Structure 1
Amino acid sequence: MTPSAALEALRAQVPLVHCITNYVAMNIAANVTLAAGASPAMIHAPEEVANFVPIAGALTINIGTLSAAWLDGMKTAAIAANSSNVPWVLDPVAHFVTPYRRKAAQELLNLKPTILRGNASEIIELAGAAGSGKGADSGDRVNDAHNSAQALAARYGCVVAVSGSVDFITDGSNSASIIGGSDIMPTVTALGCSLTALVGAYAAVAPRLDATVAAFVHFAEAGERAATDAIGPGTFAAAFLDKLYALEPENLEETRVSWF
């Protein structure tokens, strides 16, 4: 499915996306999901996630602000998603920073996410190599994470997406790179986390590899267009939501994608 066809499906179906994300990202993740054309639900309590996941089109899990109760909810939700054939996306934010986070990320990864999305350092470290990340920021180039991404995709049977100046997406057999976006994007808090929510929205309406590519293309196109109207991070954040909302399927340029 092409990015344009995936956006048509997204707008037609308006999927419900169950987002378990961090405190910093909740607002922007919900707004990005809404602007793109889907419907977000920010539910994380262990007592209710198992009942909510089956009615959602997709689940996204972001471990940014982790706690024991939230981790219980995340694992319960992932198990429910697998049981209900609901696609789910894992964002292992800064998983290498502490032993607790590393263990939590590995436990969630062992539950076999449909899609794994992270920056280069997160993907490299998750594959067992040494990265150069600093907190949630990557210290490695996307190119350096290609082998790690392909290894993780093969090991866990998932699509792996690496965010950066030129994004890389692979299912272990087929891979794509995506150009676009803006240098301002990393200066807006939790914008990367919101991409995870957008990937979930597309995963609800398209095959997992096509969905991931479509989400990244939509994100890159909106970012590039928003940069022309922005004078800094504040105006960029507002312009980015407007561009996500205004983009039509024919605007998702396939020339941004290189398959190999």
Structure 2
Amino acid sequence: MAETKKDDNWFVETFKTVFWALLIAGIFRTLFFQPFWIPSGSMKDTLLIGDFLFVNKMAYGYSRYSCPFSACPFSGRILSSEPERGDVIVFRHPVNNQDYIKRLIGLPGDKVQFKNGQLFLNGEAVPQEPAGQFIEPYEKQGPIGNLPSCKDAIPVGIGAECVKDRYIETLPNGVKHSILNIVDGRFGDNTPVFTVPEGNYFFIGDNRDNSQDSRFSQSVGGVGFVPREYLIGRADRVIFSSAGRSMLFFWTWRPDRFFKAIQ
């Protein structure tokens, strides 16, 4: 009888421990960090399809979508810390309600334009330096199985090298990051001047010819200007990465990207 009571107590204590551990982990995840898988190639080669990361939801304080509770005391408040140009940020699309990840390029009041593929901020050209090529195999990537785009849209066979030109762009605040170019002369290479409204931000994908971002209006499926309250958090580091259709396919893991800082 005593042995049965002891077993019951062990079960209850174990259950309570697991319950509180899961509850704390859930609260921690909900309030502070959000997991995010990279589903597309719009941020290559900074982020690759199959990269897994945690979004720091406290990087800028709580916004409309970083706080999950309607009763959250921070809901609706202005961000306590302003995002910086060059930050890689996850935000909620203002129209389709999906989560996107792009690089912050334009701050409120900035004038943003592209001329022949070069970024201009407030009338000044942002320097780009050639940095070789980004080469990846031409094969299906991630669970969706998309094929990558190659330089000048030149067709290559499955398994062959898919090449893109790579540059290092230096933003006015000194942030350096990699960008890719596939084909010259696409719509996004030459744009009108965008003036970022107060309380909004302008986002661009690092894979410049393969990103539906703020250069494209929301009416045609683009991101357009993103209001402050739609920001979720900053992406700081890749935790895990897999090139395959499932993270269980260990032979497709990319160990060189584990815990890689996002620049």
Give TM-score, length-normalised by structure 1: 0.26
Structure with bigger gyration radius = 2
Richer in strand (by share): 2
Give TM-score, length-normalised by structure 2: 0.25
